[in-house]
Structure 1
Amino acid sequence: MDVVALNRSLISSVNADGETPLLTATTSGHATLASFLLRCCCDLKPSETILKQDKQGCNALHHAIRRGQRELALELIAAEPVLSRALNKYNESPMFMAVMRNYEDIFEKLLDPWARMSALVCTREGLPGSAHAGAHGYNALHAAVRNNSSAIAKRIMETRPTLAREEGKDQNTPMRLAVLWNKIDVLKVLLEHDRSLGYVVSTNGTTPLLVLAAFRGHVGVAQELLKHCPDAPYCTANGWTCLHNAVSLGHDDFLEFVLGSQQLGKLINMRDIHGRTALQYAIEKCSPRMVRALLRHKDIDVTVLDNTGTDANWTLAVSTDHPKTLNWNEVSMLMLKADPADATDTCNLRKFAKDRMTEISRMNIKSLTETCTGNTSLVATLIAKITFATDFTLPGGYYSDAASDEGQPIMARKLVFKAFLISDTLAMCSSLAVAFVCILARWEDLEFLLYYRSFTKKLMWFADMATTTAFATGLYMVLAPRLLWLAIAICILSVSLPIFTKLLGEWPVLKLKFRLGRTCKSELLDMD
């Protein structure tokens, strides 16, 4: 302080970075010192010193806002409002930075002084009030949208409504960003102030707001748009509607919203530039949920042909890489139910898909065989090892006295022991048979692989049943004399395990058959 009093020229001196003492104090986080230097500058009346910008184009107000020194920022605005006009080399104004950080008090201060001093400023500088520009071509309203700050957005719309139509370098207006980022509060403010914003598209003339909302699946945004703009644009110039977009990107909730909307229900059969409806895209994605929702609509037309003459059912031919999936089969059954007259085409499609899968399988036969044999032989060997070891650790143990029965099983005369031995032997033999079949597997023969899968599946199922039976009978012998209820419970649980496992493994197919009822065609699920 004494130094400044002795040599006033120091207050306006700059260092190698082009910073004045005020800038250095601000960038270093010394808010108290910066406040003192600001008062010195005001007393000495060198306004150029306060307005000084560093090599990045930032003045003291930029740095105060960026460092969160809000009180200092307010002092700077009050002392020299012209600071609010400066843009740094990234085209960022103090207002943009303040709104980006959601500093409402600083934002208000940046607006209010110019309302009172605009005449003086315009006379002195020949320029309008505080700048609002930001990086990437954005403005302060873009920043308000980012933070979903409806209060700031409302003030901007009241004072600078033209900002709502300004595009950034990515051709996004604040409205478009509000839609893309699901900022419903700000969107509501913008539409309440100017509902015509709901009809504006970008300068390249593409992608209406409803289509953008469908792109992200923002149902709330679409509802707000239709609330203020019931006839808002819903498709691009090439006929791509918000319904097409929702289906293509898998937004089920948005799909349900469109189908239930009074304004958008008409899109159900609308075609794009390729002549394809939303139903055809849903079928191509093999999405039973979307196909089912579209087919439930009362105005759906399943007979629409695209520009190549392909109907909705044959759109599945595009997805023949996945005909073994439940989704593919369910979609084909749903279409068969919706259009029974196309049953012949459905059969032809199934044959086409099966041939395609056979061709793919032949191309990958070696890896398929290796995978099947590797997994199956591992399980079979494990079962064989368990059952073989059990033969030498019989439940109940052996006689150990010197009588004629020495070394004989204690439980040998019991019927349950015989059942244990039989089931254990069957489990070991069947699992060993599977293991040997895996060794004999032929690597280049698809027909053998199909036979191998069918044969080993049955044999492994039998081995599983026999193993659990051996386990149940073995424990029954040991527990029955003293804990009969526990022995019975273990037997029931063990014997039912293979059945439960089979039901669990086939549950998706069983659920599909139950859901489709009589319309389910079981042969479509058998693609082997």
Structure 2
Amino acid sequence: MDSSEAELDRIEAQRSTDASHDQRRGTDLPMNIHGSQDLSQSGGDGAMPPTGDTKSVPKFLTNLRLSDIFAIRPKDVRMTPLIFSKISYGKKECLDWLRSHEIPAACLKSNTGDSILHLAAKWGHIELVKEIVCECPYLLLEPNSSGQTPLHVAAHGGHTAIVEAFVALVTFASAKLCNEDSERMNPYVLKDEDGNTALHLAIEGLNLEIARCLVNANRDAPFLGNNMGLSSLFMAVEAGEVSLVKAILKTTDDEDLEGKKSKLQGSKYLAHVALRARSIGVLDVILDECPTLVNERDRRGRTCLSYGASIGYYKGVCNLLDRSTKGVYVCDQDGSFPIHKAAEEGHDNIVFEFIKRCPDSKYLLNNLGQNVLHVAAKNGEYFTSYFLMDDEETEHLGVGQDVDGNTPLHLAVMNWHFDSIPFLATSRDILKLRNKRGLRARDIAELEVKPNYIFEERWTLALLLYAIHSSGFESVQSLTIPAEPQDPKNNRDYVNTLLLVAALVATMTFAAGFTIPGGYNSSAPNLGRATLATNPTLFIFLLLDILAMQSSVATIGTLIWAQLGDPALIRSSLHVALPLLLFALLCMPLAFLFGVITAIGHVKWLLVTISIISGVFFLWAIFVLGPHVVLQRPYVSPTYAGYFLVTFMQYKYFIGIFLRLIRLLFCGCF
């Protein structure tokens, strides 16, 4: 006990220091609990005898001294490790030990400024908390170094029983104190250094039972904002907690949400937050309480309907349209309408919901004179463009021109959105339209395309020229234009990569030619010859293997010329080598397939499975490698190559739809 006695001597010495320390709490306590310490109206210093219905008073409060709630205590004393350990483990005998050594428990503080009540609340020791509260009730209002009271700590830790005990203490004391002191006895509105109340921390930790308890205890705390401008009501809406939002908005008087909003601090765009949380229940609660929130705008000037359309929340948009369709015709601060927001993000289901409910909405123009198809084309939302151009009621939007005279096709070409070209360039009327600069879509593509090879630009130009060729509007000789040589160093690296690939193909196909499926005869008269020489699938295997090897060798020979450094020779060599290498790469998997068929052809189910997998892979290889080769050639016939490019696009769309269906099945969204 030597250390304890030394600690006791130090405490006694601190008690005899400057008397000004006795006023410390008068300056350090939060402003809303300052005030007179005169408790004569609340029963003086004696214990508060229970009055009225004593059954409703918690037992641990029967010996509470109300005069101690705002008591002034001496200067803080550093908590020893022994005391810290005992309190953390919830040992009630620690209080008896402190009393026996005349150590004032209320003075003890840890290195983080936690009192013994903070520690007991943090570790969820409810019985110890009750005993400390009865002996030192003023610790309930005591902040630690982070500005958190024990109520903050208990709410953050999810200790429901402790929070309920604190609420019972505050309720009991507030009923016995005078009005002035009762207002000071309000830990629910106290904030920590981040501006959070205990209710903030309860909602942040999704401790909803505690949150409902705190909401019922105080009606003002949910509207207080923290340092980030977020109120507890805002956080409850953002969390999508319908019951909690209902509890916050429920009042004993006739005050509506408009009246409550005057008390709401920080962000107030509750309907927008409910949409972001994708909670129809919360949205209904808020809008039923205050229907005018439908017309509220956020900081970016967006209405609720516009915000819901921009994030693609279909159910929320339908909910808002069920209430009123007027919002469809209300533009945002940037001059665009909700239907434009949906088209901009590619939410075609919302676009058509707007058109179905409000047919005139498809004619709405933003501040640039752009309709819904303009916006979809400009942002590369090809699914939306396809659906609009495929519908008889909306296909005429393709000839619409904005303030600069640009059609949706113009905008798609300007932004090199090649996915939308096949859907937008569907008629001569669209292809021949000129903007205010006198340029057609073809003129823009040919003027803006860069001399070096950029896939998106070359792809867009090729698809547009094929659309022109198919319509017969103008004569098209080639789907590509000659590309200027790139940086010599980059060309050399590119050629070396192709050489390496071609050498690998030649090596593997050479080795495969001597590893024939079925093996060799080991006896006369066909000693050393292939066992399955008369099998037709073996013949196809050897044919494809030879073609792959010879094409790769030809590629190597052609690319050797490209090593000489002549730019013209490099371009010519690449135009020959790329198709040869593509042919070799396509022959390899086919040769492998027929080699496997030769070996396991008698197992039908395995044969079918391997054939399907190989067929899918072969198509994938064609549509991945084909455009890369085609678009680098200086001359590409619009008849056959164009059909291949369009087929590639259709294959790409099919894969996209397939992936969307998978997402719909497993994620519930399209």
Q: State the TM-score, normalized to the length of structure 2.
A: 0.59
1:259 corresponds to: 318
How big is the shift at 1:200?
2.2
Could you tell me which of 303, 306, 309 is aligned with 2:363? 303
How big is the shift at 1:2?
12
2:121 corresponds to: 65
How big is the shift at 1:179?
1.7
Q: How many residues align?
A: 495
Contact 1:380 1:432 in 2 (8 A): yes
* CA distance in 2: counterparts of 1:476 and 1:91, whole angstroms: 76
1:359 match: secondary structure: coil
1:29 match: secondary structure: helix
Q: 1:109 to 1:423 in 2, by over 3 A?
A: closer
2:514 match: secondary structure: coil
1:332 match: secondary structure: helix
2:388 corresponds to: 335
Q: 1:277 to 1:494 in 2, by over 3 A?
A: same
What is the aligned-residue identity percentage? Answer: 20
Greater shift, 350-359 or 196-205, is seen at: 196-205
Contact 1:150 1:186 in 2 (8 A): yes
2:328 corresponds to: 268
1:521 corresponds to: none
2:107 is the alignment partner of 1:52: yes
Contact 1:121 1:127 in 2 (8 A): no
- The residue identity in structure 1 corresponding to 2:549 is M
- The residue identity in structure 1 corresponding to 2:157 is R
Q: 1:53 to 1:496 in 2, by over 3 A?
A: closer
Contact 2:558 2:577 in 1 (8 A): no
| Deviation string, structure 1 residues 139-189 (Cα, Å, up to 9, x no partner) | 222233224444444443444212222222222221011122333332221
- The residue identity in structure 2 corresponding to 1:162 is D
* CA distance in 1: counterparts of 2:607 and 2:586, whole angstroms: 12
1:522 corresponds to: none
Could you tell me which of 616, 625, 632 is aligned with 1:500? 616
Contact 2:308 2:317 in 1 (8 A): no
Contact 2:505 2:552 in 1 (8 A): yes
Could you tell me which of 510, 517, 520 is aligned with 1:388? 510
How big is the shift at 1:497?
5.3
* CA distance in 2: counterparts of 1:437 and 1:470, whole angstroms: 24
2:191 is the alignment partner of 1:191: no
* CA distance in 2: counterparts of 1:369 and 1:303, whole angstroms: 50
* CA distance in 1: counterparts of 2:491 and 2:412, whole angstroms: 24
1:28 match: secondary structure: helix
Contact 1:231 1:263 in 2 (8 A): no
1:212 corresponds to: 273
2:434 corresponds to: none
How big is the shift at 1:424?
2.7
Could you tell me which of 82, 85, 106 is aligned with 1:28? 85
How big is the shift at 1:376?
6.4
- The residue identity in structure 2 corresponding to 1:359 is K
* CA distance in 1: counterparts of 2:283 and 2:573, whole angstroms: 54
| Deviation string, structure 1 residues 233-273 (Cα, Å, up to 9, x no partner) | 4532664123433444xx43x23322244126543343111
2:363 match: secondary structure: coil
Contact 1:145 1:183 in 2 (8 A): no
| Deviation string, structure 1 residues 370-413 (Cα, Å, up to 9, x no partner) | 8987876666544433322233334555667798x776656656
1:302 match: secondary structure: helix
- Tell me how large the CA RMSD over aligned residues is: 5.0
2:550 is the alignment partner of 1:429: yes
How big is the shift at 1:455?
8.8
Contact 2:295 2:304 in 1 (8 A): yes
Q: 1:247 to 1:429 in 2, by over 3 A?
A: farther
Greater shift, 393-402 or 68-77, is seen at: 393-402
Q: 1:358 to 1:43 in 2, by over 3 A?
A: same
Equivalence map 1:95-494=2 (5 Å): 95-118=151-174, 128-132=184-188, 133-135=190-192, 136-193=194-251, 196-197=256-257, 200=261, 207-236=268-297, 239-248=301-310, 251-252=311-312, 254-261=313-320, 262-263=322-323, 265-286=325-346, 291=351, 297-299=357-359, 301-316=361-376, 318-319=378-379, 328-337=381-390, 339-344=394-399, 345-354=407-416, 355=445, 358-359=449-450, 362=453, 366=486, 380-395=502-517, 418-434=539-555, 456=578, 462-463=583-584, 466-467=587-588, 470-471=591-592, 474=595, 485-486=602-603
2:332 match: secondary structure: coil
Contact 1:472 1:491 in 2 (8 A): no
Contact 2:362 2:372 in 1 (8 A): yes
- Unpaired runs of at least 5, structure 2: 16-74, 400-406, 417-444, 456-484, 624-647, 658-670
